[in-house]
Amino acid sequence: MYNQVSVQGPVIESKQDIRAQLAQYVAQQPESIQARHKWMKRLQVAGAGIVAAAFVVAMYVSVAWTSVNPLMIPIAWFLFAASAAPAMIFLGLDAITLRAFPPVVLPGKQHKLVTGSGAVWTGWTFILLALVVAAFWGTFAYAVGTLDLAMIARLATIVGVIMGVGIAVSIIVSILYSIFQAVTRSR
């Protein structure tokens, strides 16, 4: 049973539908799972608070650039980029504990609530991604703080390659989607 992936209910079209479907799923869970879910939601809010605080600090350092060490500006922004990690980790832990992962609602897309092992794998993926993001941007902040130009060059190359591949994949997907739409309309 734990290896099964299931998709709950009909296609989800709005945030209200997701909330209602997730609330129904949570209500069916044991009391201990419901209590852990409540704590994870609180920790997710705390994680969002960390992101907001890091943003405020980065903005302040950027605005007060004449009265702070100039190296603090990029360090603050890199730490802001890394600050999303706790919220992502808590989201992943919640998905693992609850064995349910609600999708992100995008206009015009069809979404379903994923439960079972699919939700657990998604939770672990979020945790791993959060650790990679925190390590990368934390290393970038460290490299700038210590003025390690060789490390900065390597990290900048990594960012450039990732962005280049991401842009290329995005263009290819867009072209393939347009071709697919044209073929399906012509039928």
Rg for the chain, CA atoms, rounded: 21
What was the pLDDT predicted at 13? Answer: 56
Q: How far is CA 132 from CA 63, 119, 135, 136, 137, in A?
A: 29, 20, 5, 6, 9
What residue ranges of the chain have pLDDT lower than 70? 1-15, 103-111
86, 97 contact by CB (below 8 A): no
111 closest CA partner among 180, 19, 14, 4 = 14
d(CA 26, CA 79): 34
Angle subtended at Cα 127 by Cα 39 and Cα 161, rounded to the nearest 5 degrees: 145
What was the pLDDT predicted at 105? Answer: 56
- Which ranges of 67-148 would DSSP assign to H, the alpha helix? 72-82, 84-98, 117-146
> Helices 117-146 and 149-186, interaxial angle, to 10°?
140
| Tens digits of residue pLDDT in 8-59 | 555 545 667 777 888 888 888 888 888 888 898 899 899 999 999 999 999 9
